Amino acid sequence: MNNDLALSMTIMLSVIDGVVFYFLIDLLKQIICGQKKYVKKSFKEILSYLASVPIMALILYCIYNIPYALFDGISWHFIESFGPINVKYATIALFVCFSLIYVYSLISLIFSNKEDSNFRVLGCLTVIIGFGNTFSVFIINEAVRRGIENADSLVLYFVAALILYVYSTKIIRTIVVELTNKTVYEKRISLINKILSSQYQKYEKIESGRIQSGLNNDTNNISLSVNVFTNLITSAVSLLFCFVYLAFLSLYGVIISVITIIIAGSIFYYFSMRANKFLVEARELQDVFFRFINNLMLGFKNLSLDKAKCNGFKEDMQESCADFRIKNTEANKRFVNVYVIGEILTMLVIGSVIFILPKVVTGMSTNDIRSYVFVFMYMSGPVRVLLDSIPQYMFYRVSWSKIKELEEDLLGIEKNNNTKSITRNIKDNICIDVNNLVFTYYFNEKGVFSVGPISCSFKSGEVTFITGGNGSGKSTFGKLLTGLYTPDEGEISIDGDVKNSVELGEYFTTIFSDYHVFDKLYGIDHSKKKESITKYLKLLNIHDKVKVKDGVFDTLDLSSGQKKRLALMISYLEDKPVFFFDEWAADQDPHFRKFFYEELLPELKLRNKCVIAITHDDRYFDLADQVINFEMGKTIGESSVKPA
């Protein structure tokens, strides 16, 4: 090792020392301020930390004895007296570097907080791995140069480099696994929170395929960026140390290596940008495919009954799969072309070293050429990792942009943090007043159907039927009334106070025509309502079909009528002031239809509930206190069947 190479190593290691020292000081400040606290460790983790002590002691011992190993037994006293003196400073910088990284990494793993990402620890450990990789190559190259019979002093260094690489890699891979899963979790939770805090009428316009892709494939792609980041840093550090070593062998060799990597990277990036268009198109087709999956699950009954329909659907789904395959294949084939170009460049450089470099640089020995070829062949691995990260980055960028688009589309009204207090403060007797309510469906910025203006009122202790033909606007009115839609004009007030969409929902328990029954009683204190659960299951004649244990249904394998009765039981348990039913009796047999109109609704009325039901059963209209008729988005009549 000459003086100039040692000086380069000293400068590079000093920069790393300064960065890690800053990290360490910042970490200690956070611990002192209580931002990071001790986290209890498992027995296995404690053993791992203890095992790191002798490993680090071995590494530091090897660093201390570098002159003895590299200069055939030369002592520190000899180097201090006769040089090269920069070797001393390089060794001190390396000793400090490993010590700081070890102390920082150990303290970071012992003290942490919930927000810790450990990216700094990853960065520090990848420096060690990069150095270990390069040092292993240096030791092997030096052993070959000396000859096997004179390489005994290097065995300990080879073993130390191997242990260092294996141990650091294990720690890094463990952190990467944790970070990857944490990234997926955090991004999915963020998306879920945005979905659940979005307004229904905005959510309704988003294709379910986009949501599935975002929660599944896109979040996974983003999580892989952690692994890409680790490999990228490790490879970059390995190349950096290799360049320093190559500078010792030949300055021209370094220039050739840098030019080769720049050319390969530029070509790779150029083709990657051209392939990006196909990646975006493939990602769009993925949303379409998820939409087909939803249609398959929801419409399987129809497909099973109609062979022609099934065959047509199958052809379209297969076409979607084929389109995705073509676009994805085309994108990856473009990267294959670049891989080939990279291989050709690597071989050309090696050929140039063997056939051209000796003619350009006079005095190069066969050992120097052999060493250079050996190091460059090793460097081809990290170079490939750097080039491979470009398409991986493209996948990551496409997924990230899709998630950002989804998040922007999901922006809506945030849930009110005081919804529980709203529910507790609801009065027994309420009066809902609808004043000049207007809502318009838009398509391409043009209104295609309007509901309203509508004015009406609903009171506790009354039953109201809403009727009208298909497409008359009654279901839309129901979504406006319950807060799922926000009106373009007008307002809804309860007891004289104007309510927004979030507040309105707290007053209603609903069963819409496209209702869904969860397998758990969410939002209901089931432990206090065991008697009510038993009572309503028997009342609705489903006690022998489904059981409830710890708030969870043992099955939802029920007929449509039974499932709707189960939804009705849940409404009873929610016990809100207003019960809203959208064609509840449509799936019931004559017995339960009569039971619903003649017993259940009157019973709710006696309990002073406000009952609003969308229905076509005109034979039961005389049981209502008022009937509101819809036609073409407007009320055409309002009649009080029973005198107040």
Flag whether 196 is in a domain: yes
Are 272 and 353 in contact by the 8 Å Cβ rule? The answer is: no
Asked if residue 303 and residue 214 are part of one domain, the reply reads yes
- CATH code of the domain in which 235 resides: 1.20.1560.10
- Model pLDDT, residue 532: 84
225's CB contacts (< 8 A; 6+ apart) are 183, 392, 393, 396
CATH (domain of 569): 3.40.50.300
Whether a cis peptide bond, with omega within 30° of 0, leads into 84 is yes
Please, what is the Cα angle at 414 between 409 and 416, to 5 degrees? Answer: 165
Q: What is the 3-state secondary structure (H, E, C) of 525-544?
A: CHHHCHHHHHHHHHHCCCCC
Residue range(s) defining the domain that contains residue 550? 419-639
Domain end residue (candidates: 375, 410, 445)? 410
Length of the chain: 644
Confidence (pLDDT) at 335: 67
Say what the pLDDT of residue 524 is: 79
Question: From CA 423, how far away is CA 427, in angstroms rounded?
Answer: 9
CA 151 to chain centre: 51
Residues 369 and 462 in one domain: no
Helix H, strand E, coil C: the string for 109-121 is HHEECCCCCCHHH
CB atoms within 10 A of CB 567: 20
Q: Are residues 327 and 438 in the same domain?
A: no
CB hemisphere CA count around 266 (13 angstroms): 7
Give the orientation angle of helix 366-410 with respect to helix 155-196, to 10 degrees. Answer: 10
pLDDT the model gives residue 443: 64
Residue with token string 């005198």: 643
Both 499 and 567 in one domain: the answer is yes
Q: Give the rounded distance of the alpha carbon of 471 from its chain centre.
A: 39
Indicate whether 219 and 338 sit together in one domain. Answer: yes
Does residue 238 share a domain with residue 314?
Answer: yes
CA distance 475 to 123: 57
> Do 489 and 428 share a structural domain?
yes
Q: What residues form DSSP beta bridges with 549?
A: 552
Instruction: Say how many domains are in the chain.
Output: 2
Give the mean pLDDT per block of 10 residues along the chain (644 residues).
67 85 87 79 78 84 75 68 72 86 83 66 75 76 70 77 78 75 74 74 69 70 69 76 72 72 71 67 69 69 67 79 76 69 70 71 70 75 73 71 72 48 58 86 66 85 86 84 84 85 82 79 79 84 82 80 83 86 81 85 87 85 85 69 50
Q: Are residues 286 and 318 in the same domain?
A: yes
Q: Tell me if residue 191 falls in helix, strand or coil.
A: helix
Tell me: do 598 and 479 sit in the same domain.
yes
> Is the preceding omega at residue 487 within 30 degrees of 0, hence cis?
no
Q: Cα(154)–Cα(142) distance, rounded to whole angstroms?
A: 8
Residue 164 resides in a domain: no
Is the Cα dihedral 370, 371, 374, 377 positive or negative? negative
> Does residue 321 belong to any structural domain of this protein?
yes
Same domain for 536 and 401: no
- Residue at 229 is within a domain: yes
CB atoms within 10 A of CB 403: 21
Picking from 517, 513, 510, 566, the residue whose alpha carbon sits closest to that of residue 537 is 566
Question: Is 77 a domain residue?
Answer: no
What's residue 415's pLDDT?
47
Per-residue confidence (pLDDT) for residue 340, from 0 to 100: 73
466 and 586, same domain (yes or no): yes
Residue 403 shares a structural domain with residue 426: no
Q: Taking the chain, what is the end-to-end CA distance rounded to the nearest angstrom?
A: 104
Q: Following CA atoms 46, 51, 54, 59 in sequence, which dihedral angle do they give, to the nearest 10 degrees?
A: -110
What per-residue confidence (pLDDT) applies to 379? 75
How would you list the strands of the sheet with 626-631, edge to edge?
508-511, 578-582, 610-614, 463-468, 626-631, 634-639
Give the count of beta carbons closer than 10 Å to the beta carbon of residue 138.
21
What are 491-546's pLDDT values in tens digits? 888 888 888 877 888 888 888 877 777 777 877 787 788 888 888 888 888 888 88
- Give SS3 for 104: helix
CA angle 469/453/576 to nearest 5° reads 75
The answer to whether residue 345 sits within a structural domain is yes
- Residue that is last in its domain, among 363, 389, 410: 410
Asked if residue 287 belongs to a domain, the reply is yes
Residue 520 DSSP symbol: B
Q: Which amino acid is at 80?
A: E
Tell me which amino acid residue 568 is: L
Domain end among 389, 410, 431:
410
Residue 135 included in any domain: no
Strand pairing report for 111-112 and 37-38: antiparallel
* pTM, 2 dp: 0.62
